[in-house]
Amino acid sequence: MIEVRHVSKVFTTMDIGTVTALAEVSLTINDNEFFTLLGPSGCGKTTLLRLIGGFETPSTGEIRIDGVDVAGLPPHKRRVNTVFQSYALFPHLTIAQNIAFGLEMLKWSKADIDVRVKEMLALVRLEGYGERNAAQLSGGQQQRVALARALAPRPSVLLLDEPLSALDLKLRKGMQVELKRLQRETGITFVLVTHDQEEALAMSDRIAVMSAGHVLQIGRPEDIYDDPNCCFVADFIGEANLIPGALLGRANVNIVTIRPERVTVGPGDAPAARIAGTVAEVTFIGPDTLYDIGLKDGTRMRARVRGDRGRFHAEEPVTVHWPDEAERELAS
């Protein structure tokens, strides 16, 4: 279990003064959990990962791993391993030697190391690649070696820093499944850093959405998708309509959010409409049709309607409908 309590990190640089990368962040990551830190670049997610790994020290606050305060513990004294964004496979060692590196540092016996290296190569499906050099492998294979190397010493936590960002789309999808499988099979806590919300939704048990050094919301992917607690989260995860409350006649509500797939479009004279507007654009994308609808104050709204073969056309006045349970009122 990782407990992060009121952790802040302030960097001091020569030219731009101080930068607050993390502000009073608190969260708990459970054992055997696939936990994701999700946010745009510069939100502090990588800083938080590096704090857990021991590559940075918090300015204030405390981090506990399995109940132990790790303040002042250097990376080599933490039962935490990292899969680096660049993989950082040692170019002067073979694949097998790369995987054995951590075990040698932990003073495992030669026989145990050999067994474990074989086991890890099998786990990441690279049997027979042990004697090659990293440069001879493809990006996806290097990625798997990096995983094997980090998992070999049986850490209690595995940190993954944007591990899939260097792979092409098809490989990325495959590796998402692979990572899920590895996490299930090893039972090790995975902490993933990513800016890709689809990746986060697909793989995580829980997600922490971060922005500008703050954690905005923590929850299961479904909860975060269905029940965002602020505009940033609603907008960052999936697609969201953000409609000013005043436009819906709710003066005391700041913003109302609805997912485009929960919105239906009706003819301009349909009764019991939420709001009226004009179709600005119609996009046919196969199973669904996207309607961009201009509301009266200029706010754009998107509806994603299943099976609708362009029932409405651009410039046509329409009404917009959604069920009560599909909307959320947001204060900010």
Which residue ranges make up the site for another protein (CB under 8 A)? 53-55, 74-77, 80-82, 84, 86, 88-92, 101-102, 105-106, 135, 149-150, 153
**Pairwise CA distance, residues 319 & 159, whole Å:** 48
> In terms of CB distance, is 90 or 284 closer to another protein?
90
Q: Which of 26, 152, 145, 172 is nearest to 89 (CA)?
A: 145
CA distances from 298 to 58, 68, 243, 256 (A): 45, 54, 11, 16
For the bound state, the minimum distance from the C-beta of residue 86 to another protein, rounded and expressed in Å, comes to: 5
Distance from chain centroid for Cα 215: 13
Q: Which of 284, 330, 326, 291 is nearest to 309 (CA)?
A: 284
Residue with tokens 């944007």: 162
For the bound state, the minimum distance from the C-beta of residue 78 to another protein, rounded and expressed in Å, comes to: 8
> In terms of CB distance, is 42 or 101 closer to another protein?
101
For the bound state, the minimum distance from the C-beta of residue 105 to another protein, rounded and expressed in Å, comes to: 4
For the bound state, the minimum distance from the C-beta of residue 300 to another protein, rounded and expressed in Å, comes to: 43
Torsion-angle region of residue 274: left (phi > 0), alpha (psi -120 to 50) or beta? alpha
> In terms of CB distance, is 39 or 153 closer to another protein?
153
> In terms of CB distance, is 193 or 234 closer to another protein?
193
> In terms of CB distance, is 68 or 314 closer to another protein?
68
For the bound state, the minimum distance from the C-beta of residue 130 to another protein, rounded and expressed in Å, comes to: 17
List of residues 6+ apart from 224 with CB closer than 8 A: 207, 209, 217, 233, 237
